[in-house]
């Protein structure tokens, strides 16, 4: 199959990610079938697409005719065979449960065309493991969109152990066609690029909460002062502390036990205080927005420490061959975090001693080996990584 043959997309799942993928594909001119297990889920997904399009209409970014055309390209069904029939690309966007994903792809694989490309929107799980449910895993890959799909630009294209170059190439072109920014992940590794590089930051955020010396407001205010649209604790609440903790547990199992979530976050999840979606998490969200004291700012743990952690892990990702280049790493980090620059570019003008001092401080304070400086950070040779 050539990319020019791609006319119909099937999306399995109509939740936060699924309906967003449906919308952007339909807006790019593709015929899209959205499948879910219940009609009520489909109705909710369709309503959210309409709501999103109405916002664009109100801002005069699309016309009433554009909206009508987009909706005409979308169909909804509870039948997998109907959804994937004649589809050239099938994208799964169901909850992050390995057995569920394998079950979905077993059914999709049995009903889709033999040359249809099958992709999972997982943000962390092994592409190679999921592909075991698919006949001809050469046509299988990861296609990790960022939330919210209709606004976030980056997409990670992850190659599993058997993913063919042709499959990755078609997905790359498809991602460009729907006006996203693709970055190829060469190796199927936990967290891929973006989430893997942020994993140690999650660990230090958890350790700070357990230590109790710095208020979340203080660090969030400091991060916003350097241009971050949201502080890290606000973002954790926004995404959901259950997601945050689930991700840390996964990294603890697959990368290092040091990623295990701490007592503070674990207690929050056990108490059902998950952040924005429950009205309370690290912050009070009862008014719809977090109550954050912006008058205080951390002078202890600062943006410098957070940046040093990110660069250190970015160097590891580069050395492990997960990304094709330092430029690709910076690209996904800029667009995924809405940052001014990626870690390599941000640190290019810094002295290695600054970075090492920050990392050593965290290593000694929290006793975690993941904060130990990589040799390339210590000697400055990370600046030569291209």
Catalytic residues: 123, 144, 156, 195
Of 215, 190, 15, the C-alpha closest to 95 is 15
Which two tokens mark 215? Answer: 């208020």
Residues 6 or more apart whose CB falls under 8 angstroms from that of 104 comprise 12, 92, 94
Q: Do β-strands 154-159 and 181-185 pair in parallel, antiparallel, or remain unpaired? A: parallel
Report the 3 state secondary structure along 110-140.
HHCCCCCEEEECCCCCCHHHHHHHCCCHHHE
b/e 332-370 (16+ beta carbons within 10 angstroms → b): bbbbbbebeebbbbbbeebebeebbebbebbeebbebeb
CB 323 within 8 A of CB 183: yes
Of 99, 120, 33, 31, the C-alpha closest to 69 is 31
Q: Give the C-alpha separation, 87 to 67, whole Å.
A: 23
Which two tokens mark 66? Answer: 């554009």
Q: Do β-strands 154-159 and 140-145 pair in parallel, antiparallel, or remain unpaired? A: antiparallel
CA atoms within a 13 Å half-sphere pointing along the CA-CB vector of 371: 23
């Amino acid at each position: 199959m050539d990319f020019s043959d791609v006319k119909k997309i099937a999306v399995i799942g109509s939740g936060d990610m699924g309906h967003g993928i449906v919308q952007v594909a339909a807006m790019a001119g593709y015929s899209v079938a959205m499948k879910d297990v219940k009609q009520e889920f489909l109705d909710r997904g369709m309503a959210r697409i309409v709501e999103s399009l109405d916002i664009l209409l109100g801002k005069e970014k699309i016309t009433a005719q554009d909206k009508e055309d987009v909706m005409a390209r979308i169909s909804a069904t509870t039948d997998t065979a109907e959804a994937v029939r004649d589809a050239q690309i099938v994208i799964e966007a169901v909850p992050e449960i390995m057995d569920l994903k394998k079950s979905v792809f077993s059914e999709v694989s049995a009903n889709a065309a033999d040359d249809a490309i099958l992709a999972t929107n997982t943000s962390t799980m092994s592409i190679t493991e999921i592909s075991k449910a698919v006949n001809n895993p050469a046509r299988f890959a990861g296609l990790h969109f960022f939330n919210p799909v209709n606004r976030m630009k980056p997409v990670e294209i992850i190659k599993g152990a058997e993913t063919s170059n042709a499959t990755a190439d078609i997905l790359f072109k498809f991602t460009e066609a729907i006006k996203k920014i693709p970055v190829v992940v060469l190796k199927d590794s936990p967290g891929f690029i973006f989430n893997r590089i942020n994993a140690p930051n999650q660990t230090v955020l958890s350790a700070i909460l357990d230590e109790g010396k710095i208020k979340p407001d203080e660090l969030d205010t400091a991060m916003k002062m350097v241009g971050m649209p949201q502080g890290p604790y606000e973002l954790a609440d926004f995404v959901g502390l259950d997601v945050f903790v689930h991700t840390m547990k996964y990294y603890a199992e697959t990368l290092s036990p040091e990623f295990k979530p701490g007592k503070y976050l674990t207690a929050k999840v056990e108490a059902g205080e998950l952040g924005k979606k429950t009205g309370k998490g690290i912050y009070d969200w009862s008014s719809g927005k977090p109550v954050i004291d912006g008058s205080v700012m951390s002078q202890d743990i600062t943006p410098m420490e957070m940046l040093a952690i990110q660069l250190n892990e970015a160097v590891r990702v580069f050395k492990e061959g997960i990304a094709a280049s330092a430029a690709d790493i910076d690209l996904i980090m800029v667009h995924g975090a809405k940052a001014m620059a990626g870690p390599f570019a941000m640190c290019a003008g810094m002295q290695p001693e600054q970075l090492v001092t920050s990392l050593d401080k965290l290593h000694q304070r929290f006793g975690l080996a993941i904060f130990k400086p990589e040799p390339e950070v210590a000697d400055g040779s990370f600046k030569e990584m291209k």
